């Protein structure tokens, strides 16, 4: 292996992990070999944060109020937003065990030593003083084979060449395109092959490092069919904002919000620095969200409101217990999936607690609230105010929609059956054979296979009516060059709406639009 090449590439991972823009500086400012853990000494216990990390608190997820104005809160990626925070705020000195020190000293090879070096610097930057062993299985959101990820993919390949592997079979986000079901036209295929030239290289290195076949690709890795749902309390390293906050909140696992690549380093070491959302203190809620809507809330609007208000602070949500009947199950989990993913798209919420519903408040009640917490009331008027902020971003605002997007995060099996029945039932009632616009249903292949096996007739009927089952990522598709010029999309996903020009509608309205092709 070209050792020098490896060194210059490794810090890019930290850049990807914490802040766009830090990587290039990191590549030039790596400390000289051998790594000196005391670098630099002055100031706080861990020393001054090096220059390359100065952008670690720069993010597009800083607080923005519903009025579009900055709230002053800054995301720190540690599970607690702050005002006036700087990169120096969290710096610490890591205490290593003898085994960890041996890895750092190169006893298990130069590649692993460098991964450990990154891990130590990463942990110290975020205030960790020790590492913990990981359990369960990792989840990676390194899923786009675009040129800008080339150095990171090369780094992973060098690790695979050296025989490194994830400590457990891990799951990966959906691929960014689908040339089988949706993008099987010449123009989009051309753009895909030009835009993602490293896709096969990325897929290949994932399989070398321990990912299963592509049928398991999904952001909803915790679905029964995909099977990555570690036990409560398990330390893991997950990367994908919607999966991280579902895992922390509903499963009760303990993971920070990693950036793409850092979770793979944790996976290959089987360790992660202990800070933020992995600690008891870091999981306490700074906000009480008092839901007072007269009926079931719009989960996407609620999540968006929470994300904008809390930034990355943890919310404790009260007033929605009745909509879960005492437990989260396959029939109602989509509500938390929709809400949680919106908190992580409109803000950077990595964990939330729902009174009487999710595991930690079920056990500890309002002890999960931090001292001095603030309260935010979410009533019908506030819900409407949030929905009204979703302005129409289509270039031609008065034109008719021409595609529907359902399943960001990926649909559960229950959602697939529900939507297919809703739409085929409505078509029958209207005496129509086909939907007015194509409906893209996003789900992992393992869910689609189950659906085809268990609801064969329904699946065929819906497909003939204009519904497409695809395993790609909805938002990456909507990020394609020229997409917003040619596609006027509608969705029930607030996450999709927060990241794209696709318009957001409640379920019943969406069915109507799908049938009529009109809003
Ligand atoms: Fe999943 Fe892509 Fe949405 S990864 S959560 S479908 S942005």
- Exposure of 283 in the CB half-sphere (CA atoms within 13 A): 27
Whether residue 138 is found in the same domain as residue 245: yes
Residue 122: Cβ within 10 Å count: 25
pLDDT on residue 60 = 56
Whether residue 365 is found in the same domain as residue 291: yes
For ligand 1, mutation pick of 173, 175, 406 (most atoms within 8 Å of CB): 173
Domain boundary pick from 258, 278, 298 = 278
Whether residue 274 is found in the same domain as residue 290: no
Q: What's the rounded Cα separation, in Å, for the pair 321 and 325?
A: 7
Task: Using 50 as the pLDDT threshold, list the residues of the chain that sit under it.
Answer: 1-45
**Does any ligand 1 atom lie closer than 6 A to the CB of residue 176?**
no
Phi then psi dihedrals of residue 426, to 5 deg: -65, -35
Residue 462: Cβ within 10 Å count: 24
**Does any ligand 1 atom lie closer than 6 A to the CB of residue 82?**
no
pLDDT on residue 8 = 28
Domain membership flag for residue 497: yes
Whether residue 334 is found in the same domain as residue 430: no
pLDDT on residue 149 = 94
Whether residue 316 is found in the same domain as residue 411: no
For ligand 1, mutation pick of 143, 408, 483, 497 (most atoms within 8 Å of CB): 408
Q: What's the rounded Cα separation, in Å, for the pair 52 and 118?
A: 13
Whether residue 407 is found in the same domain as residue 263: no
Q: What's the rounded Cα separation, in Å, for the pair 209 and 135?
A: 17
Domain membership flag for residue 490: yes
Phi then psi dihedrals of residue 109, to 5 deg: 105, 155
**Does any ligand 1 atom lie closer than 6 A to the CB of residue 495?**
yes
Q: Can you say how many angstroms the Cα of residue 371 is from the centroid of all Cα atoms in its chain? A: 29
For ligand 1, mutation pick of 141, 143, 171, 174 (most atoms within 8 Å of CB): 174
- Measure 173 CA to ligand 1 centroid, in angstroms: 8
Whether residue 443 is found in the same domain as residue 510: yes
Q: Which residues contact 5 (CB under 8 A, 6 or more apart)?
A: 154, 158
Q: What's the rounded Cα separation, in Å, for the pair 122 and 124?
A: 6
Domain membership flag for residue 398: no
**Does any ligand 1 atom lie closer than 6 A to the CB of residue 420?**
no
Domain hosting 457: range is 403-516
pLDDT on residue 9 = 29
Whether residue 36 is found in the same domain as residue 172: yes
Whether residue 172 is found in the same domain as residue 320: no
Q: Which residue has the tokens 């993008």?
A: 183
**Does any ligand 1 atom lie closer than 6 A to the CB of residue 219?**
yes
**Six token digits for residue 288:** 């009480």
**Does any ligand 1 atom lie closer than 6 A to the CB of residue 131?**
no
Whether residue 301 is found in the same domain as residue 182: no
pLDDT on residue 326 = 85
Whether residue 39 is found in the same domain as residue 146: yes
Whether residue 473 is found in the same domain as residue 384: no
Report the nearest atom of ligand 1 relative to the CA of 495. 3
pLDDT on residue 125 = 85
């Amino acid at each position: 292996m070209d050792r020098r090449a490896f060194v210059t590439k490794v810090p890019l991972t930290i850049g990807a992990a914490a802040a766009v823009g830090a990587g290039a500086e990191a590549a030039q400012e790596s400390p000289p070999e051998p790594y000196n853990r005391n670098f630099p000494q002055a100031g706080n216990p861990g020393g001054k944060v090096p220059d390359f990390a100065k952008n670690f608190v720069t993010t597009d997820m800083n607080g923005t109020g519903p009025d579009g104005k900055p709230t002053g809160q800054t995301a720190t990626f540690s599970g607690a937003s702050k005002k006036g925070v700087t990169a120096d705020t969290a710096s610490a000195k890591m205490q290593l065990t003898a085994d960890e020190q041996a890895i750092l000293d190169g006893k298990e090879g130069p590649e692993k030593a460098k991964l450990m070096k990154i891990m130590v610097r990463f942990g110290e930057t975020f205030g960790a003083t020790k590492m913990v062993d990981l359990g369960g299985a990792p989840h990676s959101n390194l899923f786009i084979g675009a040129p800008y990820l080339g150095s990171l993919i090369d780094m992973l390949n060098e690790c695979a060449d050296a025989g490194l592997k994830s400590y457990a079979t891990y799951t990966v986000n959906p691929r960014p395109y689908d040339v089988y079901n949706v993008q099987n036209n010449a123009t989009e295929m051309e753009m895909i092959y030009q835009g993602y030239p490293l896709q096969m290289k990325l897929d290949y290195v994932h399989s070398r490092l321990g990912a299963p076949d592509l049928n398991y690709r999904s952001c909803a890795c915790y679905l029964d069919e995909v099977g990555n749902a570690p036990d409560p309390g398990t330390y893991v390293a997950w990367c994908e904002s919607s999966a991280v906050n579902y895992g922390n909140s509903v499963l009760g696992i303990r993971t920070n919000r990693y950036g793409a690549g850092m979770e793979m380093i944790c996976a290959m070491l089987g360790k992660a620095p202990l800070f933020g959302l992995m600690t008891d203190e870091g999981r306490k809620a700074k906000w009480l969200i008092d839901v007072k809507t007269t009926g079931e809330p719009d989960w996407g609007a609620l999540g968006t409101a929470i994300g904008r208000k809390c930034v990355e602070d943890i919310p404790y949500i009260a007033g929605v217990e009745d909509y879960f009947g005492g437990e989260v199950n396959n029939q109602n989990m989509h509500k938390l999936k929709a809400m949680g993913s919106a908190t992580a798209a409109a803000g950077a919420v990595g964990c939330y607690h729902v009174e009487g519903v999710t595991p930690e408040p079920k056990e500890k009640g309002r002890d999960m609230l931090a001292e001095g917490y603030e309260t935010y009331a979410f009533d019908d008027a506030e819900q409407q105010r949030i929905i009204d902020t979703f302005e129409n971003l289509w270039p031609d605002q008065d034109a008719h929609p021409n595609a529907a997007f359902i399943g960001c995060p990926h649909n559960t099996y229950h959602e697939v059956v529900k939507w297919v029945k809703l739409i085929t039932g409505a078509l029958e009632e209207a005496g129509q054979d086909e939907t007015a616009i194509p409906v893209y249903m996003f789900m992992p292949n393992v869910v689609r296979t189950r659906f085809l096996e268990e609801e064969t007739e329904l699946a065929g009927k819906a497909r003939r009516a204009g519904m497409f089952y695809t395993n790609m990522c909805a938002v990456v598709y909507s990020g394609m060059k020229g997409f917003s010029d040619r596609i006027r999309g509608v969705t029930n996903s607030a996450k999709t709406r927060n990241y794209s020009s696709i318009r957001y509608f409640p379920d019943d309205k969406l069915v109507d639009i799908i049938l009529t092709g009109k809003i």
